[in-house]
Structure 1
C-alpha cells in the first residue's frame, strides 16, 4: 500500500512539473515609449502572466522574468530615444529573461513603478508587464516629449541616388479651398508606424495601430463622398524607411501630400498625459496659410459633436507635418490613450468609424464654405 501511495505521489509531482513547464511564460515583445511628461515606459508582452523582478544597480536598470522563455522575434538590442536611456538589451540566461537598460544617470528604485496587466479577452492583448521610469519626469506636459521613434541610422530609402540626402519634392501651393468635397485630393497621415509605436496605453495598445484603423475608415468615407485620397502609409511601416532620422521620416509624410497635389493634409494621432483622468479631443494647426485655422475648426466641431468628448479646441502648434506641409493641414489628437476609458474606446470599431465619419464631415464643411 505504501508503495502505491508513494508511486501516486511521484506521478503527481511529475504531472505538476509538466503542467508548470508547459504554462511557463515566454517574452514575445519588448517596447518602450516616452509620454508628454518625459516618463520612460517599457512594455513586456508575455504568453502567460508571470512573476517579475525590477532591480536598480547604480545607472543600470534590470527587468527580470524568472523561468520565462524568449521569443525568436524579440530584438536582442534596441535603440531608445530618451534623455534617460539610449539602448537596451534582452537575453535569456540562468533560466530567466533579463532586460538590461543602461541609464544616462544614477536612478533610485523609488523612481521606478511597475504593474502587471492580465490578458484582455475583448481586445486580444496578451499579458504584459508595464514599467514606468520617472527619474526625469516633468511637472508640465510638453510636445517635445511623447514621440517614441528610435534613434535611427540614415538609410538610402527615399533618397536621391548617390548623395544620401532626401529627394527634393517641390511644394504644392495650387490647392483648392472651395467648391465642395467631390474631386478634391486629401492626404491622410496615420501617425507613427513601423519602428515607432507612438504613445502606449495602460493596456499596452499602441497609438500607431488605432491611428491607422481610423485613417482607413476615413479614407473609405472620403472616397464615398467623391474625394481622391492618398495615405502616407496603409500598413504598419515607416514612411521614409527603417532607420531614418526623425526629420526624414516626417518630411517623407509631407512629400506624399506634395506629390499627390493634395488640397488638405490630415494627420491622425492620440494624445497622452501622465494624469490618467485627462481625456478629450484637440485639432492642432499651424497658421502658414489663411485656411489652416478654418480647417481645424470644421474638423474639431464635427468630432466633438459626434463623440461628446471633452473639447480642447484648436490650438496652434509647430508640429513638423502641419508646419512643413505646403497646403492647409491639421493634426487630430483623437482622445487620450493614457486614459483607461478612452484607450478602450479608441480601440473599438464603433468609435473608430464614428470619429472617422466626423473628420470626413468636417473636411466637407471646410470645402463647402
Structure 2
C-alpha cells in the first residue's frame, strides 16, 4: 500500500509533463498586418489582412453594443517586429489593436457606429509564395457611416491608360451625379452595334484570380468557377466567328499578386479598351452571410445608351439556363462598368454561399449552360443593334 502511495505523485507528474510540452510548443506567428479601404463594392468596407506563418482558425466575437469586435486567432503569437496598434479609415474603424494572450492573439476593433454580424466577414486565404505553409486571415468591416464614397469616376478620364491622370491632374469631377449620368469613358464610340457575332470583339473577364480567390464556398472558390465559365464562353464565341479578348486565361492576377483593387480592376478595363472591344462581360459568383440567399443578377451602368440592353438580353438568357431564382437587372457603380469604353455588364451567376447553387455551379453542365446563355444573350443584343 505504501509503495502505491509513493507511485501516485510520480504518475501525476508524468500526466502533467505532456500538457506542459503541448503548451510550450511553438506557435504560429503573425508577421504582418495591413489595412485598406475598399470602395469598389456595393457597400464600402475596411479590410484588415494578417499574415500568419501557420494554420489557425479565426473566431469572431461581437459585444452586445455592436461597437467592439474581437477576432481570436488560437495558438498564435505576435512577431517582435509587428506593431500592436493600427489606424484605418476612421469613418469605419476607430482603432485596431492586437492583444497577446497565452492561448492566442485577439485582433480587436472599435467602430464608431454599431455593427451586426452581417456587417463583418472573416475568412482565410492561402499564404504567399514566400510562406506557402502559412495563411492570411482577412477581416472585412462594412461602412455604416455612409461617408465612404464608392468609386464612380476618377479625376481624369484616361487614368491608368498611358500614365495619364496622375496625381496633380486639374480635371474636375462631380461624384454626386447618379450612375446614369456618367459619360462613356473614351468619349468616342469605337464599338459596333451591327447584327451578328461574326467579327465582333468581345472582352470576357473571369472575375478574381491568382492571389484573389473571390468568394469562398464550402468546397470551392469563385475564381475557379468564373474562369471555367469564361473559357467555355470564349470557345463558343470563337466558333461563332467573334474575336475574344480574355482578361485572364489561367489562375493569375491580371495586374500583380496581392495588388490593390483599383490597379487590378483598371488592368482589366485597359485590356478591353486597348482591344476596342464591342462588349465587355465580367463573370462573377455572388455570396452572402446567409445560406438561403440565391439567384442570378445582371448589373449595368448607363454610361452609354446600350449598357442596359446588353444586361437585359444576357440576363434573359441566363435565367433560361438555370433554375436559380431571378434577382433581376440592376444598376451599379462597379469599377469595371464605369471604366470600360464599351457597353459592359457584370453577371452574378448564383451564390457560392448557397449549398445547392454551389454544387450546381461546380458541375460541368451548369457551367456549359451559362456559357451558352451568355453567347445567346450577346447574339440577341447584336441582332437587335443594341436596342
Aligned CA-pair RMSD:
5.5
Equivalent residue, structure 2, for 1:97: 105
**Cα deviations by residue, 1:60-90 (Å, 9 ceiling, x for unpaired):** 6432234336799x99998867942277566
For residues 11-22 of structure 1, the aligned pairs below 5 Å read 13-15=16-18
Secondary structure at the aligned position of 2:345 is classed as strand
Whether the 8 Å CA contact 2:45–2:92 is kept in 1: the answer is: no
Equivalent residue, structure 1, for 2:177: none
Q: TM-score, normalised by structure 1?
A: 0.64
**Cα deviations by residue, 1:5-31 (Å, 9 ceiling, x for unpaired):** 776665565456667877978889999
Determine whether 1:185 maps to 2:201. yes
Change (3 A) 1:242 1:20: closer
Change (3 A) 1:8 1:244: closer
Residues of 1 paired with 2:210 and 2:96: CA distance? 18
**Which ranges of structure 1 fall in alignment gaps of 5 or more residues?**
119-125, 139-143, 148-155
**Cα deviations by residue, 1:341-363 (Å, 9 ceiling, x for unpaired):** 43454455554444233223322
Whether the 8 Å CA contact 2:58–2:73 is kept in 1: the answer is: yes
Determine whether 1:321 maps to 2:336. yes
Residues of 2 paired with 1:188 and 1:238: CA distance? 13
For residues 157-236 of structure 1, the aligned pairs below 5 Å read 160=163, 173-192=189-208, 200=215, 203=218, 207-208=222-223, 210-234=225-249, 235-236=251-252
Equivalent residue, structure 2, for 1:305: 320
Equivalent residue, structure 2, for 1:359: 374
Question: Which structure: larger Rg?
Answer: 2
Residues of 1 paired with 2:189 and 2:323: CA distance? 35
Equivalent residue, structure 2, for 1:253: 268
Superposition deviation, residue 228 in structure 1: 2.1
Equivalent residue, structure 2, for 1:277: 292
Whether the 8 Å CA contact 2:56–2:75 is kept in 1: the answer is: no
For residues 337-356 of structure 1, the aligned pairs below 5 Å read 337-347=352-362, 350-356=365-371
Whether the 8 Å CA contact 2:253–2:264 is kept in 1: the answer is: no
Residues of 1 paired with 2:256 and 2:275: CA distance? 16
Equivalent residue, structure 1, for 2:348: 333
Superposition deviation, residue 287 in structure 1: 3.9
Aligned partner of 2:71 among 63, 72, 93: 63
Secondary structure at the aligned position of 1:342 is classed as helix
**Cα deviations by residue, 1:297-351 (Å, 9 ceiling, x for unpaired):** 3321221121121123333445443344232221112113454443454455554
Secondary structure at the aligned position of 1:300 is classed as helix
Residues of 2 paired with 1:82 and 1:202: CA distance? 31
Change (3 A) 1:293 1:39: closer
Residues of 2 paired with 1:366 and 1:269: CA distance? 20
**Cα deviations by residue, 1:91-140 (Å, 9 ceiling, x for unpaired):** 7665522323343x1658xx45899999xxxxxxx9999988689399xx
Residues of 1 paired with 2:335 and 2:59: CA distance? 42
How many residues are treated as equivalent by the alignment?
A: 341
Whether the 8 Å CA contact 2:213–2:223 is kept in 1: the answer is: yes
Superposition deviation, residue 184 in structure 1: 2.2
Residues of 2 paired with 1:352 and 1:10: CA distance? 60
Which deviates further from its counterpart, 359-368 or 23-32?
A: 23-32
Secondary structure at the aligned position of 2:316 is classed as helix
Equivalent residue, structure 2, for 1:123: none
Secondary structure at the aligned position of 1:314 is classed as strand
Superposition deviation, residue 260 in structure 1: 0.5
Which deviates further from its counterpart, 232-241 or 327-336?
A: 232-241
